[in-house]
Amino acid sequence: MIESSTAQAAAIDTTWYEPLTASAENGAMSMSDFHSWFNARTRANSFQVEQIPFAELRGWDFDPETGNLVHETGRFFSIEGLRVRTNRPWMSEWGQPIIVQPEIGVLGILVKRFDGVPHCLMQAKMEPGNINGLQISPTVQATRSNYMRVHGGADTKYLDYFRPGSRGRVLFDGLQSEQGSWFLHKRNRNLVVETDDDVPLDEDFCWLTLDQIRRLLLLDHMMNMDSRTVLSCIPPSLSEPSKQDAGDDSFTHAVLRSSAGRSRAVHDTGEILSWLTEVRAQQELVQRRVSLKHLTEDGWRVGPDSINHRDGKYFDIIAVAVQASNREVTAWTQPLLAPRQPGLLALLVKRIGGTLHALVQARSDAGMLNIAELTATVHCQPGNYADVPMEHRPTYLDHALAAPAHRVRLDVLHSEEGGRFHHAQNRYLVIEVEDDFTESDDDRYRWATLHQLTSLLPHSNYLTVELRSLMASMRSLTQRL
Amino acid sequence: MIESSTAQAAAIDTTWYEPLTASAENGAMSMSDFHSWFNARTRANSFQVEQIPFAELRGWDFDPETGNLVHETGRFFSIEGLRVRTNRPWMSEWGQPIIVQPEIGVLGILVKRFDGVPHCLMQAKMEPGNINGLQISPTVQATRSNYMRVHGGADTKYLDYFRPGSRGRVLFDGLQSEQGSWFLHKRNRNLVVETDDDVPLDEDFCWLTLDQIRRLLLLDHMMNMDSRTVLSCIPPSLSEPSKQDAGDDSFTHAVLRSSAGRSRAVHDTGEILSWLTEVRAQQELVQRRVSLKHLTEDGWRVGPDSINHRDGKYFDIIAVAVQASNREVTAWTQPLLAPRQPGLLALLVKRIGGTLHALVQARSDAGMLNIAELTATVHCQPGNYADVPMEHRPTYLDHALAAPAHRVRLDVLHSEEGGRFHHAQNRYLVIEVEDDFTESDDDRYRWATLHQLTSLLPHSNYLTVELRSLMASMRSLTQRL
C-alpha cells in the first residue's frame, strides 16, 4: 500500500499569508477561505492508491509480441522501449523504457474578471501519483481520450469553454512539451480562455486571483505541473502584478524589469535562436522505438511488480490500483513511472547591465521531439551522478548545491504529473550568482532575459516543462509577501 | 539510361530580361552574362546519370533483417517503411516507403554588398535527380556527413562562413522542414550570413542581386529547392525591392503591402496560431517505422530495379549510378525517390480590406515532425486522384485547375531536391480569385497575410517547403518585368 487518505492535508500555516494584499482582497475568496476550502475538499474526497503486481492490472497487459505494456483499447498511453543514439562523448547510446502517448490533451485555465480583477478557475484534483493526493490543477485537464470519452466516464466539467467557437476570448493556445526523459514526443495543448459568462461554480473548483496563485506557487506540492505550465503561458499583460504589489525589494524589481519587453539583453533573440539552431543541428538524437524485451542489455529488468534498472537508478515502472470519489471514473488500475530520486532544477540568474538574466541550458533528452530545448541551468536527478567521474557531472550542479542561503531567491518542491508519475518531485531553485561569477566554457549555456524566454512560449518545444515551472514560480517573486 | 549530358542547357531566351533594372546594373554580372556563365558551366561540367538495378549499388544494400535500403556506414539516409495511423474519415491508415535522414544539413547563402547592393553567392550545381542536370543552388548545400567528411570527399567550399564564430553576420538561422510525404522528420538548417570579407570567387559560383534572383525564380527548373527555401528566409528588410522597382502594377503593390508589418489581417496572428494548434491537437498522426518488407499488404513491391506501388501511383524508389566532374565525389551510386506524377502547388490569394491574403491550408503529411504545417491552398499530385470519388478530391483542386489565365499571377515549374528525388517537379501557381469567391466550409483553411507567414519562418515546422518555395517565388512578382 503506497498511500491511503481521507483527511491528511498537510498542516499548512495559513497565517503566513496575512495580511492580504489589496488585489487578493478583491478575490472571490481570501487565502484563509482558500485553505479552509482546500482542506474541506481533502476531507470530502477519499482516495486510495495501492501498488499491485502487473498481473492485477485490468485492461492493461504486456503485448505478447513486443513486450510493451499497453491498454487493450490501444489508447491512453503505453510503456515501450526506446533506443537512443547520440554523438555525445559519454553515454552516447542507451536503451530505456519510455511513456508513449501520441494523443494531445487539453490543459486549460478559464479566466474571468470580478470587479475588474482577473481570476482563474482552479480545481482541487486527485491524481494517483500525487504527493498529498489532492493538488490544485487547471480548470480542465483532459486527455483526448477523456474528452472523446473513450473510457465512458462522466463529462469533463467546463470543457466546452475550450472548444473551437467557445464563448470565450483565447488569451493563449499552443502545444507545450513535457518531460523529455520520460515521455516520447509528448505535448499538451495549453489554453487560457477569458469569459464574461456567469460560470456555475462546482464544489471542487474555486476562483483565485493571480496574486493568490503566486502565493500558492511558493508552497510545496500545492500547484500541480499542469497548473504551472498553463500559468507560465498566461500573457504578462494579464498577470503582471499591480505597481503597488511590486514593492521596493530590488530582486522583485529585477524580475519585473527582465520580464518587460524593453529589457536590454546580452544577446538579441536572433542570436539566441541561432545558438539553439546550432545545438540542434550538431546534436545527434536518433530515436528508435523498440520492444521492452530488448532493454535487458541496457540493464532493465521486467519483474512481476516493476520494471527497474539493475543499478537502482533512474526510475521504476510500477502498477497501481486507484479508488477515488471525485474523478470521472471512480476506480481503475494503471501503470506509473516512479523516479528513484528527486530531481534538481536550478536556475542561475544574474543582473547584467542592470537587467536580470537567466543562464539557460540547451538540453537534449531521450524523448524530445525537437532535439533540444531550453531548460534550467541545472536539470538532473543528482542521485544518478553519485558514482560518476567529476568530469561527467552536470555543469553547475556543484555550484547550485553549494549556493549560500543568502543567494537563494526561490526554493520550492513541486510534484510532476501525478497521472503518469508516482511521487515525482523536483526541487526548484533560483540562485542569484555573485558579480564575479564566471561561466564555464560549455557552449550549451546562454544568458537570456525573462522576456526573451516568454516570447518563445507561443511556439512549441522551446522551453522544457521544468523551465516553464520555474518561470511560473519566479513570478511569485514579484509578489510582496 | 536516364540522362547523359555535357552541353544540353535548355535554350533560354535571355532577351526577355532586358532592359536591366537599375538594381541589376549594380550587380557583379548582367543577366546575359549570367546566362553565358551558366551555359559555360553546363558545358564545362559533364555528368551522367544512369538507372541501375539495386544489386549494382555500391555501399548500399537491403538490410537482411529489416529489408530497409541502407548505406554500409549507417550514415547518409535510408529507405525504410512507415506505418501511419490517423483519425481521418478516409485513407485513415496506410504504409509507405519513406526516406529517413535524421542528420541535419546546412543550406547557406553568403551575402555581400557591392556598391551597397546585397548580392548572394550562388552555385551552379549538378544533382543526379535534377531536370536539366545543372541548377542554381545556395552557396553551401551540405549534409552533416558532407561537412564531417564521412565520404572522404573534398572540402565543401565556403563552409567556414557558416560555422559558429564565422566571420559574418547571421541574418537568418533556423531549421526548416522538407517534403512531409517523402521524408520522415527531415529538416535542414537554413542560414543566411552577410560578410564584408573579400571572397574569392570559384568558377562554379557567381554573385547575383536579389532582383536577378527574382527573375531567375520565374524560370522553370532554374533555382533548386535548396535555393528557394533559403531565399524565402532572407529577411524582407534585405530583400525588399527598391521603391522604383515596385512600379505601378497593382498586384505587385498588393504583394508588397501584404508583406509589410503594417498590413491589416483578417485574423490576428494569435488566432492563426490557435487555429493551427486546434488542427494539431485534433489530428491524429501516429507514425511507426517498420520494415520495408511489411509494406506488401499496402501494395508496395520490392523488385530488382525499383520499389513501386501496384496502382502505379505515388512514387518509385530507384537506384542510379552518377558520374560528375564538379562534385566533391566524382562517381557514386545512390537510391532516389522518383514521383510518378508532377505535383500541383496552387496558392489562392485575394485582396480583403485592401490587403492581399493567401488561403493557407493546415496539412498533415505522413512524415511530418509536428503533425501539421501550413501549405499552399492546393498541394497534391493530381494524378493520384484520377480515380478517386469527387468528395475525396482535394478541396479547391478543381478550382485551381479551372482558373482562367487572367487570374493567374504566377505559373512556374520548379524541381524538388535533386539529391534525393528523381525529376520531382511541381507546378507552382498563384491565382488571384474573384471578389465573389466563396470559401469551402472546410476548417483546414485560413486567410493570412504574407507578413504573418513570414513572421513564422524563424520558428521551425510552420511552413512547408512547398509554401516556402511559393513565397520565394511570389517575391518575383514585386519585380517589374
Are the beta carbons of B278 and A103 separated by less than 8 Å? Answer: no
- Name the residue of chain B whose CA is nearest to A191's CA: B274
User: Does A274 fall in a domain?
Assistant: yes
Closest CA to A450 of A303, A352, A379: A352
Facing B281 at nearest CB: one of A189, A270, A443 = A189
Place of cell 543567494: A407
- Report the candidate in B198, B190, B211, B32 with the shortest Cα–Cα distance to residue B118: B211
Whether A186 has its CB under 8 Å from any CB of chain B: the answer is: no
Contact B175/A460, CB-based, under 8 Å?
no
Q: What's the 3-state SS for B330-352?
A: CEEEEEEEEECCCEEEEEEEEEE
Q: Which three cell numbers stand for residue A143?
A: 486527455
Grid coordinates belonging to B415: 524541381
Judge whether B148 is closer than 8 Å to chain A, CB to CB. Answer: no
Q: Exposed, middle or buried by CB within 10 Å (0-12, 13-18, 19+), for A225?
A: buried
Q: Which of residues 86-115 of A touch B (CB under 8 A)?
A: 102-104, 106
- Contact of B389 with chain A, judged by CB distance below 8 Å, is answered with no
- Give the nearest partner residue to A278 out of B164, B281, B369, using CB atoms: B164
- Which residues does chain B have within 8 Å of residue A175's beta carbon, measured at their own beta carbons? 277, 280-281
The total of other beta-carbon atoms located within 10 Å of residue A47's CB is 22
Mutate to test the interface with A, among B85, B170, B192, B279 (most CBs of A within 10 A): B170
Quickly list DSSP for A338-379.
EESS-EEEEEEEEEETTEEEEEEEEE--TT-SSS-EEE-SEE
Q: Cβ of B271 and A170 within 8 Å?
A: yes
- Tell me the ipTM for this assembly: 0.90
Which of A172, A177, A370 should be substituted to probe chain B, the one whose Cβ sees the most B Cβ atoms within 10 Å? Answer: A370
Record the cell numbers describing residue B260, joined without a space: 509589410
The answer to the question of residue B438 being in a domain is yes
pLDDT of residue B255: 87
Q: Is B351 in CB contact (< 8 Å) with chain A?
A: no
- The per-residue pLDDT for range B262-298, each reduced to its tens digit, is 789 999 999 999 999 999 999 999 999 999 999 999 9
Nearest CA in chain B to A190: B277
Cell numbers describing residue A40? 474541506
Q: Does B284 touch chain A (CB under 8 A)?
A: yes
Q: What's the number of CA atoms in the CB half-sphere (13 Å) around residue A187?
A: 25
Count chain A–chain B contacts defined by CB atoms under 8 A: 65
C-alpha cell at A29: 475568496
Residue for grid cell 498533415: B364
CB-CB: which of B164, B175, B281 is closest to A280?
Answer: B175
Residue A137: φ, ψ to 5°:
-120, 170
d(CA B170, CA B157): 18
Q: What is the pLDDT of residues A248-259, one digit of tens each?
A: 557 888 888 888
Which member of B274, B281, B458 has the closest CB to residue A273?
Answer: B458
Cβ–Cβ < 8 Å for B264, B276: no
Place of cell 530580361: B17
Contact list in B for residue A273 (CB cut-off 8 A) is: 173-174, 458
Between the CA atoms of A353, A356, A357 and A359, what dihedral angle is there, to the nearest 10 degrees?
A: 120
Smallest Cβ–Cβ distance between B278 and the set A103, A164, A458 belongs to A164
pLDDT band at A3 (very low <50, low <70, confident <90, very high): very low
Average pLDDT estimate for A230-240: 86
Distance CA B161, CA B165 (A): 9
The amino acid at residue A400 is: A
C-beta of residue B68 within 8 angstroms of C-beta of residue B79:
yes
Please check whether residue A180 lies inside any domain of the structure: no
**A157, exposed or middle or buried, with CB in 10 Å at 0-12, 13-18, 19+?**
middle
Q: Is A459 on the interface with B (CB under 8 A)?
A: yes
User: Is A462 part of a structural domain of the chain?
Assistant: yes
CA distance B314 to B182: 10
Closest partner residue to B277 among A175, A270, A281, by Cβ?
A175
Nearest residue on chain B to A147, alpha-carbon basis: B282
State the Cα–Cα distance between residues B332 and B314, nearest whole angstrom.
26
CB contact under 8 A, A273 and B173: yes
Q: Is residue B348 part of a domain?
A: yes
Backbone dihedral angles phi then psi of residue B385, each to the nearest 5 degrees? -110, 10
**Based on the structure, what is the number of domains in chain A?**
1
Amino acid at A207: W
Q: Name the pTM for this structure.
A: 0.91
Rounded mean pLDDT, A132-136: 93
- Residue A389 touches chain B, beta carbons under 8 Å: no
Q: A459 contacts in B (CB within 8 Å)?
A: 459
Domain range enclosing B263: 252-285+341-478
The grid cell for A170 is 483565447
Which grid coordinates belong to B123? 552555385
In a domain, A303, yes or no: no
Tell me: the pLDDT tens digits for A283-317? Answer: 999 999 999 999 999 999 999 999 999 999 999 99
| C-alpha distances out from residue B247 to B20, B217, B409, Å | 14, 19, 16
| B274 at A interface, C-beta within 8 A | yes
Question: pLDDT 10s digit of each residue in chain B, 481 long?
Answer: 444 444 333 333 333 333 333 333 445 689 999 999 999 999 988 889 999 999 999 999 999 999 999 999 888 899 999 999 999 888 899 999 999 998 999 999 999 999 999 999 999 999 999 998 899 999 999 888 666 654 445 578 999 899 887 778 999 999 999 999 999 999 999 999 999 999 999 999 999 999 999 999 999 999 999 999 999 999 988 865 555 444 555 788 888 888 887 789 999 999 999 999 999 999 999 999 999 999 999 999 999 999 999 999 999 999 999 998 766 668 999 999 999 999 999 999 999 998 999 999 999 999 999 999 999 999 999 999 888 888 889 999 999 999 999 999 999 999 999 999 999 999 999 999 999 999 999 999 999 999 999 999 999 999 999 999 999 998 877 754 4
pLDDT in tens, B18-35: 333 333 344 568 999 999
User: For residue B175, which residues of chain A lie inside 8 Å, CB to CB?
Assistant: 277, 280-281
Q: How far is A334 from chain B (nearest CA, A)?
A: 22
| In the block, residue with C-alpha cell 509480441 | A65
Check CB contact under 8 Å for A170 and B270: yes
Residue range A10-62, pLDDT digits in tens: 333 333 333 333 333 445 689 999 999 999 999 988 889 999 999 999 999 99
Residue with C-alpha cell 535487458? A296
In a domain, B170, yes or no: no
A177 pLDDT above the threshold of 80: yes
Please report residues of B whose CB lies closer than 8 A to that of A370. Answer: 369, 460
d(CA B199, CA A40): 74
Query: Which residue is associated with the grid cell 472546410?
Result: B442
Q: Does A83 touch chain B (CB under 8 A)?
A: no
Q: Does B286 touch chain A (CB under 8 A)?
A: yes
Radius of gyration of chain A (CA): 22
Domain of A372: which CATH number? 3.90.79.40
Q: Is B2 on the interface with A (CB under 8 A)?
A: no
| Confidence at residue B352, expressed as pLDDT on a 0 to 100 scale | 94
- A437 lies in a domain? yes
Cβ B189–A102 below 8 Å, yes or no? no
Question: In this complex, which of A144, A286, A369 lies closest to B102 when CB atoms are compared?
Answer: A286
Residue A447 backbone dihedrals phi, psi, to 5 degrees: -85, 130
In the 3-class helix/strand/coil scheme, how is chain B assigned residue by residue? CCEEECCCCCCCCHHHHCCCCHHHHCCCCCHHHHHHHHHHHHHHCCEEEEEECHHHCCCEEECCCCCCEEECCCCCCEEEEEEEEECCCCCCEEEEEEEECCCCEEEEEEEEEECCEEEEEEEEEECCCCCCCEEEECCEEECHHHHCCCCCCCCCCCHHHHCCCCCCEEEEEEEEECCCCCEECCEEEEEEEECCCCCCCCCCEEEEEHHHHHHHCCCCCCECHHHHHHHHHCCHHHHCCCHHHHCCCHHHHHHHHHHCCCCCCCCCHHHHHHHHHHHHHHCCEEEEEECHHHHHHHCEEECCCEEEECCCCCEEEEEEEEEECCCCCCEEEEEEEEECCCEEEEEEEEEECCEEEEEEEEECCCCCCCCCEEECCEEECHHHHCCCCHHHCCCCHHHHHCCCHHHEEEEEEEECCCCCECCCEEEEEEEECCCCCCCCCCCCEEEEEHHHHHHCCCCCCCECHHHHHHHHHHHHHHCCC
**Cβ atoms A276, A298 nearer than 8 A:** no
Residue A388 Cα, gap to closest chain B Cα (Å) = 30
Selected residues 225-264 of chain B with any CB under 8 Å from a CB in chain A: none
Give the span between the Cα atoms of A350 and A449, in whole angstroms.
10
For A175, the closest of B280, B286, B443 (CB atoms) is B280
- Of the candidates B230, B239, B282, which has an alpha carbon nearest to the alpha carbon of residue B260? B239
Q: How far is A297 from chain B (nearest CA, A)?
A: 19
